[in-house]
Amino acid sequence: MSDITAAGTLEFTGLGTVTRLGFGAMRLTGPGIWGEPADAETARAVARRAVDLGVDFIDTADSYGPEVSERILAEALHPYPPGLRIATKAGQVRTGPNRWIPVGRAEYLRQQAELSLRRLRVEALDVFQLHRIDPKVELAEQFGVMAELLAEGKVRSLGLSEVSVEEIRIAQTYFPVSSVQNRYSLVHRGSEGVLEHCTDHGIAFIPWAPLDAGRLAAPGGAVDAVATRLGVTHSQVALGWLLQRSPMMLPIPGTGSVAHLEENVAAAGVILDDAALVPLDAAS
């Protein structure tokens, strides 16, 4: 298995050096990202194995479960080993499986930050991300309370999710934007401009759904052809492509399986040559 350090590192504003291949803890929950996992001990084992493999950046959210993912991480990993950073998010409420509703009122975001502190058993959140901008609430209210939490020392760094370049620029007038988490993968490249902005400005870009390869992974597709030639998996091709796309790329592939976790971490050592990159870059 490849050493995760082969993925390289990036400087994460407010946190320092972070390995460029993390773990997404969304799947440590029940179906529809709702309720308890089928096997809680397996979920805890996945989290522990991620750290054993050298993962030092784990992404979660208050809405995963809700509350379940954060709690499982604390059960599995607290007291946290030195150097481990846990990023969480708030700003979406859950009314059922696969249902997500943005809520960006200041009092709600503050409440959720406090509850995440309690569930994760920490005095300050390493990263607190706005899960979605609430279109019904003024940006000044949403960004303002995040700036307050940073100033109060309740969070060490702040991030955004599913935002435009203009929204990043506005947020930067309130606080340093340390990370942006937008959907991005081989088949979802709508955030190319945001990725370029993050790369140019030293902002960690955290692609969600990073393993999505769609039809490219079908027999004869670009991903399938590269995987077959290099003797790696489709997921490893997808992650390898992301890691070579930008030095500020920080993929967080998620899974509830130790075997899949190990496969994903092994992608750190996958180097795509020009014969692989050309068709992958051209496909979407």
Amino acid identity, position 61: A
Q: Could you give the CA distance from residue 124 to residue 137 in angstroms, rounded to a whole number?
A: 26
Catalytic entry in 64, 80, 174, 184: 64
What are 75's two structure tokens? 């059960």
CA distances for 33 relative to 96, 99, 108, 254, 255, angstroms: 9, 9, 21, 12, 12
Alpha helices in 78-179 (DSSP H): 106-120, 139-151, 165-172
**Helix or strand (DSSP H, E) at 240:** helix 234-245
Is 64 an active-site residue?
Answer: yes
- CA-nearest of 167, 85, 190, 68 to 128 is 85
Longest dimension (CA), the chain: 54
- Type of residue found at 86: I
Indicate left, alpha or beta for 176 from its phi (over 0: left) and psi (-120 to 50: alpha). Answer: beta
Place of tokens 């989290």: 47
Sign of the Cα pseudo-torsion (118, 120, 123, 124, in order): negative
Which residues are within 8 A (CB) of 137 and not within 5 positions of it... i.e. 6 or more apart? 104, 105
Strands 16-19 and 9-12, bridge-based pairing: antiparallel
Enter the tokens of residue 122.
């920490």
Residues 18, 250: contact at Cβ < 8 Å? yes
**Backbone torsion region of residue 54, taken as left when φ is above 0, otherwise alpha when ψ lies between -120 and 50, otherwise beta:** left
Active-site positions read 64
